Amino acid sequence: MSLKGKDLVSLSDFSRAQILCVLDVAEQMATAIGFDGGPRSPLDPLDSILATLFFEPSTRTRLSFESAMLRLGGQTLGFADPGTSSAKKGETLADTARMVSAYADIIVVRHPLAGAAKVMADFSDKPVINAGDGAREHPTQTLTDLFTIRRELGTLAGLKVGLAGDLKYGRTVHSLAPVMAQFGSDIVCISPDALRMPESVLQQVRAAGKQATETDDLAAALADVDVLYMTRVQRERFPSEADYEAVKGSCNLTPELMAQGKEGLRVLHPLPRVDEIAPGVDADRRAAYFRQAAGGVPVRMALIALLLGLYGARPGGEPAPPAPEPVATDQRCMNPKCIMSTEAHLQRLCHEHEDKRTCAYCEIAL
Ligand code: NCD
């Protein structure tokens, strides 16, 4: 089982064995960089270039990718402001992918439209890593979340994982929920009605044989969960400011509420937080979100190294399930947040399900 040359557009691209391989190599990287305070051991420097293409704001994801590549001894190039790139002149993402894959050995992309990372991967001959595509997925955040949960609680199985906040637009929870279920944990979705988890994600949890329950009562759910994963209300993804105003501040974790949580509870958050976790919670040893953010470096070091083939094949491990083959369609995707709204030159593709068709880029029903 090797990850060399693979793209990471969705976590469904990786099997459980491949995910565990990333987490195990991340532990080795953590040791090598003295992550837990131990001595550093030098790594053989990497003669490769990582491109970071950020069409949306980022602090942790971009800087931890860059830090990861620099710690591996490689180099980085890219942009954090798409206004300085030829996207501003109207260049397509497909052409950008063709060009950047001539300049770098591995590419990280974040974009406001769902399916953008798939387009990059389709047109790049170098590995492409999705650092967040609109409200769809954020697989490297999930790898960081899994690394943190395994370290903090010793397992990924048999847990009850509460996901709270903006479950509708939050891409981190769309990636995390199905994977936690595949590893054997139940999911509790905690949100107001307007921010409910999409049905397609709930279905993936249930298809993995685990429970996906829904509630709007954070206090009651808190007493019962092993992990509470808080999220920010994704203001930039709402159709209007009025829609955002109607739900903002609807989920708040305070020191008083923390008193209801179990001894062994861990609170995670992909960050940035706005007002959903009171600063008074930070001193609680169960608050793991800053440790979680730090873990982004060894995890991304491991991912880069594996996709570049620095760590070879391992015996055993099931292969990733084959991705469903998309088929050509004449139907237009009407989702304005789909990459097909700007890459109109591309062949329209869909996935055919038993009773419906979804756009192969954003997975919204056609
Ligand atoms: C998240 C993201 O960009 O989706 N941030 C991150 O990468 N750590 C969460 C968010 O912006 O709320």
Q: What distance in angstroms lies between residue 41's CA and the mean position of ligand 1's atoms?
A: 31
Mean pLDDT per block of 10 residues along the chain (366 residues) reads 91 94 96 96 92 96 98 96 86 95 98 98 98 98 98 98 98 98 98 96 97 97 97 95 92 96 98 97 98 98 95 65 89 96 94 93 94
Residue 316 in domain? no
Q: Are 153 and 230 found together in one domain? A: yes
**How many CA atoms, within 13 angstroms, populate the side-chain half-sphere of residue 241?**
0
pLDDT on residue 320: 72
Q: How far is the CA of 151 from the centre of ligand 1 (A)?
A: 21
Q: Is residue 196 part of a domain?
A: yes
Q: Residue 3 domain-assigned?
A: no
Residue 342 · residue 114 · CB < 8 Å: no
Total domain count, the chain: 3
Contact in structure between 248 and 231 (CB atoms under 8 Å) = no
Instruction: Please tell me the residue having the least CA distance from ligand 1 atom 1.
Output: 270
Residue 320 lies in a domain: no
Per the domain annotation, does 95 fall within a domain?
yes
Q: Which atom of ligand 1 is nearest to the CA of 131?
A: 7
| Spatial separation of the C-alpha atoms in residues 169 and 234, rounded to whole Å | 6
257 and 196 co-located in one domain: yes
B/e letters for 111-124, b = 16+ CB within 10 Å, e = fewer, are bbbbbbbbbbbbbb
Considering the domain architecture, whether residues 235 and 346 belong to the same structural domain is answered as no
Catalytic residue positions, numbered: 60-61, 89, 110, 138
Domain membership of residue 351 (yes or no) is yes
Cα–Cα distance measured from residue 167 to residue 69, given in angstroms and rounded to the nearest whole number: 31
Q: Is residue 264 part of a domain?
A: yes
Last residue of a domain, which of 272, 294, 316? 294
Task: Compute the distance from residue 137 Cα to the ligand 1 centre, in Å.
Answer: 10
Q: Are residues 284 and 234 in the same domain?
A: yes
- Residue linked to tokens 């798939």: 118
pTM of the predicted protein model: 0.96
- Of the candidates 105, 115, 118, the residue with the CA atom closest to the CA atom of residue 52: 105
Residue 213 amino acid letter: T
Residue 130, ligand 1, Cβ within 6 A: no
Same domain, 74 and 159: no
Range of the domain at 46: 11-134+296-307
145 and 290 in a common domain: yes
Which CATH number fits the domain that encloses residue 94?
Answer: 3.40.50.1370
- One domain, residues 46 and 146: no
Any ligand 1 atom below 6 A from CB of 191 = no
In angstroms, rounded to a whole number, what is the distance separating the alpha carbons of residues 19 and 225?
24
Residue 171: CB within 6 Å of ligand 1?
yes
Residue 302 sits in the same domain as residue 274? no
DSSP three-state, residue 164: strand
Residues 261, 143: one domain?
yes
Q: Which helix (H) or strand (E) holds 128?
A: strand 128-133
In a shared domain, residues 192 and 146: yes
User: Does residue 160 sit in the same domain as residue 288?
Assistant: yes
Class of residue 260 by CB neighbours under 10 A (exposed 0-12, middle 13-18, buried 19+): middle
Residue 126 placed within a domain: yes
Both 300 and 335 in one domain: the answer is no
Residue 315 pLDDT: 57
Half-sphere exposure of residue 214: CA atoms within 13 angstroms, side-chain side: 17
